Every structure is written in C-alpha cells, then in structure tokens.
A and B are shown apart, each in its own frame.
Chain A
C-alpha cells in the first residue's frame, strides 16, 4: 500500500515535471504525509469507536454535501469543492466513507429479508441520499461508484448474487455490444464464468445467460434503428475515436501513452506523452498513463498487481473478521476501491466510458488521497480488532 502511494507520488512528480505544475507535486507529498498520519491514528482507534461515530459522521457529511451545493466552488462545471485558502476539499470523497460506515452500521444488526420492505428501503435510502446530492453537483463518476458499491455490499450482506448478476450482466452486455464485438464477447464470457462458479440451478443460469446475449443482440438491433445523429451521440460517448478532437481526445492520447510505453517503457521522466502535456491534467484521472508510459508493461502490471493484491487482502479481511459491522465496512471499502480501479483504469485503456474518477492512492488530489488513506486506516483498524465481536 505504501508502495502504491510512493508510485503515485513518483507518477505525480513525473506528470507535473516541467509541466509548469510542480506545486501539485509538493502538495501531493504534503497530503500523503498527512494521510499517513491520519491512517496511523485511525489504525489505533478503539474498536467500537468506528461504529459509534458512524451515524454522526454520516449526518455531518450529508450536511456538508448540502452546504457545498449552496456555497461550493464550481470547478470544471461541477459544484463539489470547498475552498480553504489554497486548498480545496471535496466532501463527496469523504461521504463515501461515512456512507459505508452508516450502511455497515445499519445492516450489522439486520438481516435483509424480502418481508421487511421498510428495512430494504432504509438501506437504499442511506446510499441514495448522498447519491442524489452528488448527482445534483453533478458528479457522475462518484455517483456511479455509490451505486456500484451498493450492489456489491448488498451481495455481501446476503442478497442473492445470482439476482444481482441477472440485473448487471444484461446491462453490461447492452453497453458492451455498442462498444465493440470484443467487449461484448468479454462480457458474455465473464457472465458464463460467473454463472459456472455459482453453480446455481442450471435452468436459471441458462436463462440469465440467454437474457444477457439477447439484450446484447437486441440493443445492437435497436441501435441500428436510430437516426444517425442519435447513433453518433451514443457512439462518441462509448467510442471516443469517433470524435478525435472533442471528447475522445483524452482517451486517444491516454491509449497512445500506454501503448507507446511498450514492455519496459520510455524511462522515468522520458514519457513524451506525459512530459509534453498531450494528456491534459495527466496528474489526476489519467495518472495510470504515467507509469504505463514511462515504465511500460512492467510498470503498469506492477501497479495493477498491487491494487489487486490490496483488494484481495480486503476481501480476505472481510471474510475473517468476527464482527458483522467490520465485515460489511471492510467489503464496502473494497467495493468502492474496486469500482474506482475498474472505471479509472478501464477508462484510460479505452474500454470504459470517460467518467471522471480518480485512481485510489495514485491520482493527485488531497481529498481523494486522504479518503484512500483513511480507508486503508480503517482496514488496518479492522484487522487489528479482527477477533472482536
């Protein structure tokens, strides 16, 4: 984890080196230091504290979300910032944690049951309140993460995986089929693999699978019925190459950056895409391009492997803690991080639509890095207290 932060710092350094933005690097170091201290502090918190403060923290963060809508600063069309002197703060980042805590707290003494509609509604409500406020900003990337995380947590909390898959797989197929055939095949294969692993009723499995394929094919058919201008709008969203100087520019440049890195990269501070600013603000959402270009496949793989290891470790933690609150909170954090990674890296590699989502631990941004570090601190805390009920 520390290694990830270091790679992140190095990447931000490279990304801002000679780009007239070296203050970003200095700040990132400060944030990292502050985040590290915060992480240690949280690690050492008594076991019950996290659960105790979950509702108040949630309430405070919701108030902040409302406040930012009223009094926030607008950056790049999104009203999500508080300005404090030279530093900005994004409440939406911290809300991720407080929402996870509140959700874990709520679900920790309830079993989700089909008969208790009120509880299901409350569960959704805890997530949908901040979700709605974030959509108002509007910050689609963060909003998507809330929804995605909700599904994963519900799965963990006992909702049938199969049901979730039945909802998610056809939707994924619908998007993938518009993207290209390869993506469609990947989704189909993944669905098949998951169904196989779950070993549920064969009839149901094949029904879900058929549904996924059917949705994919019929979306393709429906798409062909659309007027050309409508098709173009959808395609530009999905496939930025169709509009190389507009919305697609970033993704094309990021693909070039990653692709031109080759196996061993161009060398630290020698990535032409990075150093010559072909990626606008490459130190934020497109940070993954930097190690990929300068250290090639080796660097990109290392970052991906570290992130994957962290996530798997999180899953393991969630499955071994004794407390249900701990388990839910751990899996919540893993879910949020997972979706961040999926969207961010998928985006820079051109297999996900461009949604502004930072890469945990790596991207520049105080709120984002602090949130990541707090999450890490919580995971450490839960691990330290794994035997507690």
Chain B
C-alpha cells in the first residue's frame, strides 16, 4: 500500500464523512420544514398569536313605547393573574374587597388549573372608592388588575324582577356544552327574559388578534387588524310591555303578596306582569353572595317565586263564565234557564252554602251577583267531561306558552285525574260541586286568568301571551316579529253576548259584586273571585277587561290572604284600568308624543306627559341608546 494510496483513502473517508453528515442534516431539514411544516407553523402561530376577546354588550330591552327599560352600565371587575399573584397577599386583597378570602382563593385556584397567565375575575361590580384604593396599593398587589365590563341597569320604575330575570356566571357544564359561545367568567341569562332570550341578548364575541413576544407582551396588531373578528352586540328586545303600566301596577302591589297580569286582548301581548314580593335585580347579575341567596331562598314570603306564572290557586267564582259558556254553547240548558237561590244547596247529605239568598236567578244575574247555587246545579247538568273540555279551550291545565321559562301548568281536573287520585268509582258527583264555583282541586295562575279574561273580551280568540313583541337583530339590522298565535274558542255570538254583558253588569249595575271596579269614562267589565284557603285568609281574585265595546286591556289580579272582601284590591285594578286605557271619546294630553302615536293605549304616567322614571335610583335621563331607535 503506497503512501499516496493511503492519502487518497483518508481523503475519501473525510469526504464521505462530511457528505454523510450533510445528507443526514438535509434529511432532517426536509423532515422539519417540508413534512411537518404545518405542524410547526401552527405551533409557531400559537406561540406568537393571542386572541383578545371582545365581549359584546347584552342587548337592550325596550317597552312598547320604545322606552329603554333594561340598560347597560360600566362596571369594574377586579381580576387576578394567578401566575403573578403573591399568595401571601390573599388576606390583604380579601379585606380590601370585603369578601371571604376563601372565595378569592377558590377563584384563583380555578384559574391556576386552566391557564395561569390568564386573569381570572375575582369580583364584579367593585365600587369606585375600592377601585381607587386598589390602584393606590397596586405595588403591594402584583397581578391584581381590573376590567371595565358592563352590568345591567334598570332606568325606570318598571322593575319587573321576575320578568326581566338576571344573569349568572356561566357554569363549567354550560361552557362544555357551548365552548364557542362561552368562556369562563362570562355571564349567561338565568331567569326570565334574560334566560329565555339568551341566544339573542348575548351577542357574538369579537376577537382581536395580536402578536406577543416570548414574555407575552403585546407587539401590536396581527395583520393590521384585517384578521380580526368584529364583535356583534346583543340583539335588542322590544316588549309588548307598557313600562308605565308596569310601574303603576308594581307600586299598587308594593305592600301586598300577589300578582297582576295585563294582556292586550287583540294580540296576547303582555302589557304588565307583576309578582310581589320581589327582589332587587341589581343585587344579582353576576356572582350572588351565598348569604344573599340563602336570604332570598329562605324568606317565607318567597320573593324569588313568580306568582304571576307559577302559582296554582283555585280561581273561585271567576271560573263561572267558563261553565256558563260550556252550558250555553252546547245547549245543555236554554239561555233562559234559571234557579231559585235559597242560599244553600244540598247534595246528598252535604250542604253547600251561598253568601246570599239570591232568589230567582238566570245567567245574567248568576254572574252579576255571583250566585253559587246556580252553578252547583248547572255543573251537575254540564258534567265533568264537558267542563274539562271547555276548561282546556280556555287554556287551563296546560302552560300558556308565554316567552319566559318559569311557568306552572296548573291543574284542570278530569275523570282520569279523579280516578288516579281517588281510585275508579271512589269519587262522586259531589266533587264536581266544588269545581263549579272554582274551588277544590282546580288550580290556575294569574297569567292563565288574564288569558281567559282576554278570550272573553275578544269573543273567543285565545292568544298565546307574548312578552316580546319584536327583536332587533344587530348583525343584519333586521327585525324578527314575535308572531301572534291564536286559537279559536267556538261559541256563538249570543253566548259571548250573555257572558260579556253579565260581566259588565257585575261592575256597572246595582247588585253587582264589583262596583268598585268602575272607572269614570271607561266602561269596565269584570268578575270577582275568592280562592278558599284552609290555612289563613282567603285569596282574592279579580279578572276584567275594558273598554267593554272595544277591549284594549284584559287583566287578572290576585292578592293573597286578603280575605273574602274585594275592597282592598279594587283600587289597584281601578288605577290600572284608568292608566292603561284611553278614556272613551277623549285623548290624553300625551297622545301626540313620539312613538306613542302608534298606540292609543296610554299609561297614567305617560298620559300625564311625564317620564316614567320617578324612583330614587334613577335620573329621568335615559341613556342615549334609549333613543337610538327614534332617529
């Protein structure tokens, strides 16, 4: 082997070595940059791109006169970035915010488990002095920041707590079900309109993309903001509700337990819906302190309970028109049929009493003077099956389908029901006698009663009650109309004439049970009722509509434990009628104002030309958003 040969071999070895290394590295480069390019490209984007969520404002809520009744106001939320927070300052922060440190610790812990660099909300709606104090001491509180968010604000005296409902922080289960719509710490409607119209009110999140460096510091917009997704504000609800009427109804029920529901007989639009006692919506809306929840839940007056839609009380004598309609339409008896009321009715060995001795009584008188004996006897002729069928026609025993979620279907007994409860053949016709005058197992809600009154008012058209009239869709700028849903209750004109005239007489003729319901200038028809209550005092009912000739409002009022007498609740109803209905033949002074032109129905307050907001909380100024739709 020559020296030259050896040299050549060594040289070749080095050549091969260098080229081999180069080839291996080129192979690796191809692997990284060609084969897995997408993978690494994605990871590179994840590194440097941050999506900053822009939360939409919840939709505004307006009443039928386009007055803003549910508004948004800025609210300060204190946040903590878990990665930066000094745990030894926990107690200090908790003292400043005046909450239990365990509450804050739990929230920080939750944040730690997801992303420790993302701020978590530890307290919403912090007042300004507290915020100022935090700002002054921020050097002692690393990682503590605040966000400006929005909270609900109710600018008028139409509080309608049960109707509007409130929002809560979204639960983990809800986030899992709708990961695109909700992120941890977001609010979601939890009751009333806020809940049922959540998908409209919430809007769509926007995203701004920014580039960040390795320390997470913003380096400015990504792609000059061209890739950003614009935020879509929540859609606005335009209610059928009349805020003025609502405010008056609430004020009249202020010291009572009960409910008022007023609907528009021609559409089923809900004009007012009150449940008392209620609660202060401004205290809910985010994270409700446990002690407040406990207080509201344990209150014997049950302020969280929506009496307007959830109660199930016997309707008392107000149900009599239903039985009369069944008897007349099916020709069970002739319109001239009558009884001689002796003040007592004997069925088997049981005596059913009446309040008065009414003497000879026909259909008109039976409703006008609320004779029980007449209906005891009529019920036995009509029978349970027919009574039940007409009860269903008038909407009892099933949910009305109102557009808030909290609703009780009530109970409309049938023979199947009695068979199930008491056993087949173990109940007698005697059970029917109680039903005839709206007592016993029959259970209805004020909302059902208002729909019933409206159906009588418009001669047999039963409308599904609707709180929301239309929705302004922000994204497209279009309107969604909440369609009127109508069912016809088949009954002849003569039947409706008798029923309606007898209710007219009940208020306006001597001997009627509801003379206090009369309103000067407006002809009101109505019927009283008493729900017997074994515990304390009876509950009082009134249903009615006005004006008789051209009904524009139908109402149902329930006052719990007010006793048999109607006197205590009559003023309520009277004022509602006066406020909610245009005086016959005359025009209110506010008639020419703005959007009110489209409605000839005026509340007391708007008719007097003042604004709705009179309470201590609000100024009379609505936010500019309230008037956007005017221009």
Q: Footprint of B on A, CB under 8 Å?
A: 152, 155-156, 158, 161, 186, 190, 193-194, 197-198, 253, 255-263, 272-273, 276-278, 280, 292, 296-297, 300-301, 304-305, 308, 311-312, 315-316, 318-319, 331, 334, 338, 341-342, 345-346, 349, 351
Contact = CB atoms under 8 A, between A and B. Distances in A.
A258 B34 CA distance: 10
B29 interface: yes
Nearest to A319: B11
B13 A308 contact: no
Nearest to A310: B18
B29 A258 contact: yes
Given A276-B47, A351-B24, 6 more contacts: A161-B9, A258-B32, A259-B40, A259-B43, A277-B214, A292-B33
Contacts of A345: 25
Interface in B1-24: 6-22, 24
B442 to A, nearest CB: 69
Nearest to A198: B13
Max chain A C-beta neighbours (<10 A), residue from B20, B212, B215: B20
B584 interface: no
9 contacts: A256-B40, A256-B47, A259-B39, A262-B37, A311-B18, A315-B15, A318-B11, A319-B8, A346-B25
Nearest to A258: B32
B487 interface: no
Contact of A259 (B24, B41, B213, B215): B41
List the 10 shortest-distance A-B pairs measured between CB atoms, nearest first.
A259-B40, A260-B44, A319-B11, A276-B213, A272-B48, A259-B32, A297-B33, A315-B14, A308-B22, A260-B41
Contacts of A273: 44, 47-48
A263 B20 contact: no
Contacts of B7: 319
A349 B29 contact: yes
A256 B44 CA distance: 6
Max chain B C-beta neighbours (<10 A), residue from A258, A331, A334: A258
Interface of B: 6-22, 24-26, 28-30, 32-34, 36-37, 39-41, 43-45, 47-48, 211-215, 219
Nearest to B40: A259
A219 to B, nearest CB: 21
B213 A194 contact: no
A253 B46 CA distance: 12
A315 B26 CA distance: 21
A227 B44 CA distance: 35
Contact of A304 (B6, B16, B29, B36): B29
A272 B34 CA distance: 18
A258 B39 CA distance: 11
B214 A197 contact: no
Given A193-B20, A338-B18, A349-B28, A278 B48 contact: yes
Contacts of B8: 319
A75 B422 CA distance: 93
Given A155-B13, A262-B33, A276 B212 contact: yes
B129 to A, nearest CB: 40
A258 B40 contact: yes
B361 to A, nearest CB: 90
Nearest to A18: B219
B34 A297 contact: yes
Contacts of B44: 256-257, 259-260, 272-273
A345 B29 CA distance: 10
A338 B17 CA distance: 10
B10 A161 contact: yes
A318 B19 CA distance: 17
A312 B26 contact: no
Given A155-B13, A161-B10, A198-B13, A276 B219 contact: yes
Contact of A276 (B9, B39, B211): B211
Given A277-B214, A319-B11, A263 B25 contact: no
A342 B28 CA distance: 12
Max chain A C-beta neighbours (<10 A), residue from B6, B8, B24: B24
Contacts of A263: 33-34, 37
B48 A349 contact: no
Contacts of B6: 158
Given A155-B13, A260-B40, A263-B34, A186 B24 contact: yes
Contacts of A258: 29, 32-33, 40
Contacts of B213: 276-278
Contacts of A338: 17-18, 21
B116 to A, nearest CB: 12
B10 A319 contact: yes
Contacts of A280: 214
Nearest to B13: A161
Contacts of A257: 44
Contacts of B32: 255, 258-259, 349
Contacts of A349: 25, 28-29, 32
Contacts of B17: 194, 338
Max chain A C-beta neighbours (<10 A), residue from B9, B18, B20, B26: B18
A14 to B, nearest CB: 15
A263 B38 CA distance: 11
A257 B29 CA distance: 12
Given A297-B34, A338-B18, A197 B13 contact: yes
B583 to A, nearest CB: 73
B41 to A, nearest CB: 4
A308 B41 contact: no
A156 B33 contact: no
A276 B214 contact: yes
A316 B13 contact: no
Nearest to B7: A319
Contacts of A305: 22
Nearest to A182: B31
Contact of A190 (B24, B26, B34, B211): B24
A263 B48 CA distance: 20
A316 B14 CA distance: 9
Contact of A308 (B18, B47, B48, B211): B18
A153 to B, nearest CB: 11
Contacts of B16: 193-194, 197
A190 B39 CA distance: 29
B223 to A, nearest CB: 12
A257 B19 CA distance: 25
A262 B214 contact: no
A277 B216 CA distance: 10
Contacts of A161: 9-10, 13
B294 to A, nearest CB: 44
A316 B40 contact: no
Contacts of A198: 9, 13
Contact of B12 (A158, A186, A197, A334): A197
A340 to B, nearest CB: 12
A318 B13 CA distance: 13
B29 A301 contact: yes
A160 to B, nearest CB: 11
A316 B24 contact: no
Nearest to B35: A259
A342 B21 contact: yes
A300 B43 contact: no
A334 B14 contact: yes
A155 B7 CA distance: 11
A13 B11 CA distance: 37
A156 B10 contact: yes
A312 B10 contact: no
Nearest to B44: A260
Given A256-B47, A272-B211, A312-B18, A296 B28 contact: no
A262 B11 contact: no
